[in-house]
Chains A and B, each alone.
Chain A
Amino acid sequence: MEKQEYLDLYYQMVMIRLLEEQAAQLYQQGKIGGFLHLYIGQEAVSTGLISVREPRDRVITAYRDHGVAINCGIPATEVMAELLGKATGCSQGKGGSMHMADVKKNFWGGHAIVGAHLPIASGLALGDKYAGNDNVTICMFGDGATNIGYFHEALNLSKVWNLRVLWVCENNQYGMGTAVERASAVSEIRQKAEGYCIPNSRVDGMDILAVRQAASQAFEFIRKESTPYFLEIMTYRYRGHSMGDPERYRASEEVRKWQENDAIGIYARHLLDDKIASQEELDQLDALVEAEVAEAVRFAEESPEPAPEALYEHIYVDQQFGIIT
């Protein structure tokens, strides 16, 4: 890996963290509405994964999607503008936190119904199979999502039809307030993939280089064998499920323990220890991200609200299907 690539991974993870910390503040100020699910703690997962995809590979995820949006190349300005519901946001203010997408960047969205995007991932991969290419669809979801029927139907289909899907379970130990063992018959979630004869492995999601390595191997395997692969990535969210989570289900001690093993911290130490980057360089990147986040907030706040006409845009492609006012 080139030095610049190493630094870029650091930059992206810090960008996600600072952008979301800022978003949390804007939420408290009432500038962001609805639900806001922060990715803080899990940055290494999507940053690592998406860093090894080809631009032609598709990405689809759940509602915890800001980090994925950044990793797929949506500018911080557009992510922030979407959070504020502005016309300049990546979904033009109609989607909000849970529904970001940029099809030009092959990011097929944040989806807010738990598990519902998994069969859609199978369909995206079916499209690529039909076209005869070897593109991969990366489908990310939580541990909790593996308990809904959609998960099982989608995995089965992907295997039966030999679809190129990389199934990625982000096991952050909880689905809302429910610990994995309280909701899932198997606590090692990758075992569920065994049930569908889908090759699988488990990897430490606090180690971005391990995530990258596991992901590249998975990509290679999927492309060559024309078959799905399942990665379980162990991670942790530091913040509540969404804003306003009373967090009665876990001890603050547990959170603190994970924070001591923070992915960004581990990676920074690795860069320094292996003399890949100097502290000064990392500080410069931190400052750059800070400035970019500030600019994203300024951009979002100064951006226009969607025009009233936008309410009736995009109901149908075919205009003659009409508008009922």
Chain B
Amino acid sequence: MARITMREAISQALWEEMERDPSVFILGEEVGVWGGTYAVTKGFYDHFGPDRVRDTPIAEAAIIGATIGAALTGLRPVAELMTINFAFSAMDHIVNEAAKLHYMFSGQFVMPMVIRAVGGGGRQLGATHSQTPDAVFAHFPGLVVVAPGTPEDAKGMLKSAIRSSDPVLFIEHATLYQVRGEVPEGDNLVPLGKSKIQRPGSDVTIITYSKMLEISTKAADQLAKEGIEAEIVDLRSLRPLDMDPVIASFKKTNRAVVVEEGWRSYGVGSEVVARIYEQAFDYVDTPVRRVAQKEVPLPYNRNLEQMALPQVDDVIRAVKEVL
């Protein structure tokens, strides 16, 4: 086990997969000479060369379109979208092509491709650069959408994503890159589409993922001091969504809070709560609560932005409301 940052974990996964399989290559804005805007691909250009670490023009539709095309020929491209906010410029290629081709042509088209995209707020980047639109992408059948919250999962899931034959949107959080965690050495694959209990507890179930795993863990630490034991289920994948650990936990605690960074309306929590009610209605003691971003475009001003983002106290309050 080594204690490494999320950035190192993602970087290692890419590096090891590129060493292992010559059909894996990277493309995106500033991934090469610059070394990646978040320094994830630092050193790659010099080591793997410009053919396998391709700097692209600012042209998201072309980046994703070309990723699809290259994947159709059997390559395994890993496209980097500088931020997930720019995925909207490539929306047709993500939802109308990547998510559809395999189905529409009855399996003739196979796209072993990964789109890495950085999301999340909290850095005062203003309304257009701070979004967490994960649920939007998870809406579309045909896409795999994952958003790991620990270095171990990030490394293991990115490796699985690269080896997968389906298009995977791999969402990273801009404020998690420095977070450290234990990561097993070697070729450790973490499956896609599997939720995981990150922290055992008996009083309440907190369902969350990505950055909000960090926030929820802090909340659980504080609650523990008051004698409240929260069980945290990390979804890790939004599509496919693995409800088994959620339902098992809920049947034990009968109480749940869903914590997500995106907006509440039509969000991840909406889906999780609906499925809890569908699958475990008899176990509901109190209405499940949702903690999410205030429903405003994120403002630049630091105080306002922090007001809008889910905080540790919001999670604690919601937990106490369901107890």
Contacts and interface: CB of A to CB of B under 8 A. Distances in A.
Whether chains A and B associate is yes
Interface of A: 33-35, 85-86, 91, 93-99, 111-116, 144-145, 147-150, 175-178, 182-184, 246, 248-249, 305-306, 308, 310-312, 315, 323-325
A33 B58 contact: no
B304 A115 contact: no
B199 interface: no
A248 B35 contact: yes
Nearest to B34: A177
B85 A113 contact: yes
B60 A148 contact: yes
B55 A178 contact: yes
Contact of B57 (A34, A85, A183): A183
A116 B61 CA distance: 13
A34 B30 CA distance: 19
Contacts of A97: 300
Contacts of B128: 98-99, 111-113
Interface of B: 29-30, 33-35, 37, 55-62, 85-86, 88-89, 123-129, 264-265, 294-297, 299-304, 307-308
A323 to B, nearest CB: 8
Contact of A308 (B35, B58, B304): B304
A147 B60 CA distance: 10
Nearest to A315: B296
B126 A95 contact: yes
B123 A34 contact: yes
Given A97-B300, A178-B30, A306-B299, 15 more contacts: A35-B129, A85-B124, A94-B126, A98-B128, A112-B128, A114-B58, A148-B61, A248-B33, A248-B34, A249-B33, A305-B301, A308-B303, A312-B294, A312-B296, A325-B295
A26 to B, nearest CB: 13
5 contacts: A34-B300, A144-B57, A147-B58, A306-B303, A311-B299
Which secondary structure dominates chain B's binding surface?
Answer: loop
Contact of A324 (B29, B62, B265, B299): B265
Given A176-B29, A315-B296, A306 B301 contact: yes
Given A144-B58, A176-B30, A246-B35, A112 B304 contact: no
B129 to A, nearest CB: 6
Contact of B126 (A96, A312, A315): A96
Contact of A33 (B86, B89, B300): B300
A146 to B, nearest CB: 9
A219 B86 CA distance: 33
Contacts of B264: 324
Nearest to B50: A182
A144 B265 CA distance: 36
CB-based closest 7 A-B pairs: A96-B300, A33-B124, A147-B57, A85-B301, A34-B124, A183-B57, A177-B34
A319 B203 CA distance: 41
A93 B300 contact: yes
Contacts of B126: 34, 94-96, 98-99, 112
B304 A93 contact: yes
B34 A182 contact: no
A113 B30 contact: no
Contacts of B56: 183
Nearest to A112: B128
A112 B129 contact: yes
A91 B128 CA distance: 15
Nearest to B39: A246
Contacts of B88: 113
Contacts of B34: 176-178, 246, 248-249
A93 B301 contact: yes
B41 to A, nearest CB: 12
Given A177-B33, A246-B34, A306 B304 contact: yes
A325 B294 contact: yes
Nearest to A313: B296
Nearest to B263: A324
Contacts of A93: 299-301, 304
A33 B129 contact: no
Given A144-B58, A183-B58, A325-B294, A178 B125 contact: no
A31 B30 CA distance: 28
A304 to B, nearest CB: 11
A308 B307 contact: yes
A34 B305 CA distance: 11
A114 B37 CA distance: 16
Nearest to A111: B128
B58 A324 contact: no
Contacts of B294: 311-312, 324-325
Given A112-B129, A113-B89, A311-B307, A94 B265 contact: no
Nearest to B130: A34
B125 A35 contact: yes
Given A115-B58, A147-B57, A147-B58, A33 B296 contact: no
Nearest to A185: B57
A148 B89 contact: yes
Nearest to A145: B58
Contact of A99 (B30, B62, B300, B304): B300
B125 to A, nearest CB: 5
A312 B307 CA distance: 11
B126 to A, nearest CB: 5
A96 to B, nearest CB: 3
A296 to B, nearest CB: 18
Given A112-B129, A248-B33, A94 B61 contact: no
